[in-house]
């Protein structure tokens, strides 16, 4: 079984990737998308979204980091993919799943699933632009407004030479509302001759087991569930999760690492964002969230967490 940490815009940044992969259980993780808008981006943009490129494209724990690109211009996507690889990316992932309105208005993300032929051209151009030994993958939803073209898009990705396909089991319109349609991921898996990774609404080991059963996929991508339970991947590997004292220590380490990386209010916001997810399954996190809700600096939060 392969387990991958999902790309999550505004959430799974360098610091969260580091914290979660330190705990362990992941085969690789994927960056937040690098937006490609008609130009060859300077290297500093790739380093901003993937600082791990400076350390062999691996997190502190040694987990490989794949770079994700988002855009609709095949030639420009190809040029930027080639640059990402020259900078050290071990693999390139292509985003056909983002449901954000601002992204979709600029012909990025899940709206491209209305055009399977364009999906093919983007994947094909990137595949041709990077060395053969570098994997090129794609991540898609079941569709834009509906899932009528799910199989067409999956076949386009496969025909273009992708190494694997990750499918989020909802359409763009469905957003993140439960449920995720794992059985539809299974239909995609059966339609293509390349590995398919299942993604969406996996919060617990029980969810993971049901997803594998319904989709038939042996590889899972964990997103918000991994942020909510940082020990989820490890539990899927070993059958044993974490305890609050362990997580509290991890949280304190996370806070220490982000102090000095931005404005105090930004740093505090990062801590509160993670705590908000932790509240889902950790009563202690709910108590801590209430305790820290009025704090304006990560330094003050750290003192409370370590008290």
With b for 16 or more beta-carbon neighbours within 10 A and e for fewer, the 65-97 pattern comes to: bbbbbbbbbbebbbbbbbbbbeebbbbbbbbbb
Write down the residue that tokens 């992941």 correspond to: 26
pLDDT of 112 reads 97
Q: Give 244-306's CATH code, choosing from 3.60.70.12, 2.30.130.30, 1.20.225.30, 3.40.50.300.
A: 1.20.225.30
Residues of the chain with CATH 3.20.20.70: 2-238
What size, in residues, is the chain?
Answer: 307
Q: Using CA atoms, how far apart are residues 159 and 153, in angstroms rounded to an integer?
A: 10
The answer to whether residues 208 and 220 touch, using CB atoms and an 8 Å cutoff, is yes
Write down the residue that tokens 């705990």 correspond to: 23
pLDDT of 104 reads 86
pLDDT of 22 reads 97
**Token duo for residue 41:** 């981006």
pLDDT of 129 reads 98
DSSP structure string for 265-293: HHHHHHHHHHHHHHTTT-HHHHHHHHHHT
Q: Which CATH architecture describes the domain 2-238?
A: Alpha-Beta Barrel (3.20)
> Of the candidates 107, 117, 165, which has an alpha carbon nearest to the alpha carbon of residue 141?
165
Q: Using CA atoms, how far apart are residues 295 and 141, in angstroms rounded to an integer?
A: 38
Outline where DSSP puts E strands in 122-195: 136-143, 164-171
**Token duo for residue 10:** 């505004």
Over its length of 307 residues, how does the chain's per-residue pLDDT go in tens digits? 999 999 999 999 999 999 999 999 999 999 999 999 989 999 999 999 999 999 999 999 999 999 999 999 999 999 999 999 999 999 999 999 999 888 888 789 999 999 999 999 999 999 999 999 999 999 999 999 999 999 999 999 999 999 999 999 999 999 999 999 999 999 999 999 999 999 999 999 999 999 999 999 999 999 999 999 999 999 999 999 999 999 999 999 999 999 999 999 999 999 999 999 999 989 999 999 999 988 899 999 998 898 7
pLDDT of 107 reads 85
Residues 6+ apart with CB under 8 A from 36: 69, 70, 71, 73, 76, 77, 80
pTM of the model: 0.96
pLDDT of 34 reads 98
Residues of the chain with CATH 1.20.225.30: 244-306
Q: Using CA atoms, how far apart are residues 242 and 304, in angstroms rounded to an integer?
A: 21
**Token duo for residue 212:** 């594998």
Q: Which residues are catalytic?
A: 98
- Burial-class residue 133 by CB neighbours within 10 Å (0-12, 13-18, 19+): exposed
């Amino acid at each position: 079984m392969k387990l991958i940490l999902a790309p999550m815009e505004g959430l799974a940044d360098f610091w969260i990737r580091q914290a979660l992969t330190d705990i362990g259980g992941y085969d690789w993780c994927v960056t937040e998308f690098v937006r490609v808008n008609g130009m060859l981006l300077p290297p500093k943009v790739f380093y901003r979204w993937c600082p791990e490129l400076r350390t062999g494209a691996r997190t502190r724990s040694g987990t490989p980091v794949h770079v994700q690109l988002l855009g609709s211009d095949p030639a420009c996507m190809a040029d930027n993919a080639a640059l990402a690889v020259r900078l050290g990316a071990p693999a390139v992932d292509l985003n056909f799943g983002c449901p954000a309105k601002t992204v979709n208005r600029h012909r990025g993300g899940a709206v491209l699933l209305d055009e399977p032929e364009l999906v093919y051209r983007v994947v094909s151009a990137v595949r041709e632009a990077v060395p053969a030994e570098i994997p090129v993958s794609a991540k898609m939803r079941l569709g834009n407004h509906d899932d009528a073209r799910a199989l067409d898009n999956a076949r386009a990705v496969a025909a273009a030479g992708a190494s694997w396909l990750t499918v989020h089991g909802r359409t763009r319109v469905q957003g993140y509302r439960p449920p995720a349609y794992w059985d539809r991921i299974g239909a995609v898996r059966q339609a293509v001759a390349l590995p398919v990774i299942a993604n969406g609404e996996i919060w617990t080991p029980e969810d993971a087991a049901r997803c594998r059963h319904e989709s038939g996929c042996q590889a899972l991508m964990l997103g918000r569930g991994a942020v909510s339970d940082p020990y989820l991947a490890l539990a899927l590997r070993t059958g044993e999760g974490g305890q609050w004292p362990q997580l509290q220590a991890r949280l304190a380490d996370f806070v220490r690492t982000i102090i000095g990386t931005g404005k105090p209010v930004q740093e505090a916001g990062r801590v509160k964002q993670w705590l908000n997810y932790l509240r889902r399954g950790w009563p202690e996190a709910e108590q801590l969230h209430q305790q820290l809700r009025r704090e304006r600096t990560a330094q003050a939060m750290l003192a409370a967490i370590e008290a």
